[in-house]
């Protein structure tokens, strides 16, 4: 995965976090999973990542989320969660709309 791809992924993650903070909403695990599955599937569908990069993308998002909660998720759980994220095929466009609206507002 390129540095540009990693920056895009982390940037989108941070945009969503900023939005939730501005709305005074809590960034729950459920919201994170919806974000991660939507981003992984959108990136792949838009050819921004390849199929083999799905796991790496999910892992990068999980690493960022885990850091935000004080690294409470174990490495073995991170691996399992990453595989669950990539097994899901849904995209929540309401989440993507938030990210893209934040991107144009930067």
DSSP state letter for 83: H
What is the model's pTM? 0.92
User: Is 36 domain-assigned?
Assistant: yes
Q: What is the pLDDT of residues 51-89, one digit of tens each?
A: 999 999 999 999 999 999 999 999 999 999 999 999 999
- Residue 102 half-sphere exposure toward CB, CA atoms < 13 A: 19
User: Quick one: how far is CA 94 from the chain centroid?
Assistant: 14
User: Is 81 domain-assigned?
Assistant: yes
DSSP state letter for 46: T
User: Is 74 domain-assigned?
Assistant: yes
User: Is 69 domain-assigned?
Assistant: yes
**Distance from C-alpha of 13 to C-alpha of 18, rounded to nearest angstrom:** 9
User: Is 14 domain-assigned?
Assistant: no
For residue 71, what are the domain limits? 26-105
Is residue 106 over pLDDT 60? no
Cβ atoms 77, 31 nearer than 8 A: no
**Closest of 25, 53, 23, 58 to residue 39, by C-alpha:** 58
**Distance from C-alpha of 58 to C-alpha of 9, rounded to nearest angstrom:** 9
**Closest of 6, 8, 67 to residue 32, by C-alpha:** 67
Q: What is the pLDDT of residues 1-27, one digit of tens each?
A: 999 999 999 999 999 999 999 999 999
User: Is 8 domain-assigned?
Assistant: no
Query: How many domains, the chain?
Result: 1
């Amino acid at each position: 995965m390129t540095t540009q791809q990693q920056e895009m992924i982390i940037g989108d993650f941070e945009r969503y976090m900023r939005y939730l903070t501005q709305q005074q909403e809590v960034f729950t695990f459920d919201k994170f999973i919806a974000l991660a599955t939507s981003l992984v599937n959108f990136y792949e569908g838009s050819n921004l990542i390849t199929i083999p990069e799905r796991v790496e993308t999910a892992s990068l998002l999980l690493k960022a989320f885990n850091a935000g909660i004080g690294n409470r998720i174990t490495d073995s759980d991170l691996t399992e969660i990453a595989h669950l994220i990539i097994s899901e095929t849904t995209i929540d466009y309401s989440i993507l709309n938030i990210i893209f609206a934040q991107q144009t507002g930067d």
